[in-house]
Amino acid sequence: MHTISDKKILMLKPEQIVLNRRSGRQVIDDYNLRLLADSIHTLGMIVPLAVYKSEEKEYILISGERRYKAAKLAGLRRIPCVLHKATPVLADIYTITENLSQAKLHYFEEAAAIKKLMRENSFSEEEMALSLGISKNMLKEKLNLLKLDLSLQDRMIMGGLCEKQAKEILRLPEEKRQEAVEKVITEELSLKQTERYVEKMLFSEEKPPKTEEKPIRKAVINDARLFENSLQRMIVTLKNSGFKVDDKRIETDKFVEFRIKILKSGEENKTATQLKIV
């Protein structure tokens, strides 16, 4: 792979510098940009931009987009630039690497830029991680952030969630993420509080829902006539089977009483066994 070398300082006009369309930067805070412009207007450009010369003889910006825009805002007629000898792919890698080390891009922008660079150059995860000087696991974690919905990404950017908080949100089922993001933003949860909140949500997801215990239905005879019919059928069955049965029914205002006497075999003259049902 080529290396960035043969550096020299150029004083270029702002219109000579072409922004790298693949730099990945999407969000630049206007207030901070104005502060930087005021500083450049007062002190001048302390740190030069990094550029390379394309085959079309254009000076393509490698790094320093914020400084470039602030310099234009400050009205600089010439901007100091360090010219590097580099290929477009190497320039992209250098841009992302610098952003990773200095946190110049938002983490969603970093992930999108890395994914685009991998797709356009058919880089494997191993090759990309090696080029950026990060572990394959770290690369995977960054790319996984792109699984979050774009609307949710925008909300997290506006809410100021850090990358580690975003990774925690990603652990949740998709249908729970919006709720979690709003909770973190509205209550201004710290990283530790976010971790505890996510763990609690995951734990409640894993617990099986409580099943309502069905009450045991006890057989209750509400209809006395139904019971009486059943009893009469039993008496008929006993009589048909050869038993001598004497039955009596007594009804009062409060209850119905059934008296059944079953005479034991060969004991006609003895006291019969009596079954009393009230």
The model's pLDDT over 135-162, given as tens digits with 9 standing for 90+, comes to 889 899 999 999 999 999 999 998 999 9
Q: Is residue 68 part of a domain?
A: yes
Query: Cα angle vertex 235, ends 252, 267, to 5°?
Result: 105
Q: What is the pLDDT of residue 25?
A: 55
Q: Is residue 188 part of a domain?
A: yes
Q: Is residue 76 part of a domain?
A: yes
- Percent of the chain residues past pLDDT 90, beyond the cut: 32
Contacts of 184 (CB under 8 A, 6+ apart): 159, 161, 165, 169, 194, 197
Q: Do 190 and 261 reside in the same domain of the chain?
A: no
The model's pLDDT over 234-267, given as tens digits with 9 standing for 90+, comes to 777 777 777 777 777 777 777 777 777 777 765 5
Q: Is residue 176 part of a domain?
A: yes
Measure the CA–CA gap between 38 and 152, rounded to whole angstroms. Answer: 34
The total number of structural domains in the chain stands at 3
Structural tokens at position 114:
């890395």
Residue 32: give its domain's CATH number. 3.90.1530.30
Q: Is residue 58 part of a domain?
A: yes
Measure the CA–CA gap between 163 and 180, rounded to whole angstroms. Answer: 15
Domain of 24, in residue numbers: 1-105
Q: Do 30 and 75 reside in the same domain of the chain?
A: yes
The model's pLDDT over 170-209, given as tens digits with 9 standing for 90+, comes to 999 999 999 999 999 999 999 999 999 999 999 886 665 5
Q: In terms of pLDDT, which residue wins out, 88 or 209? A: 88
Structural tokens at position 207:
């617990």
Q: Is residue 157 part of a domain?
A: no
Q: What is the pLDDT of residue 116?
A: 87
Q: Do 196 and 228 reside in the same domain of the chain?
A: no
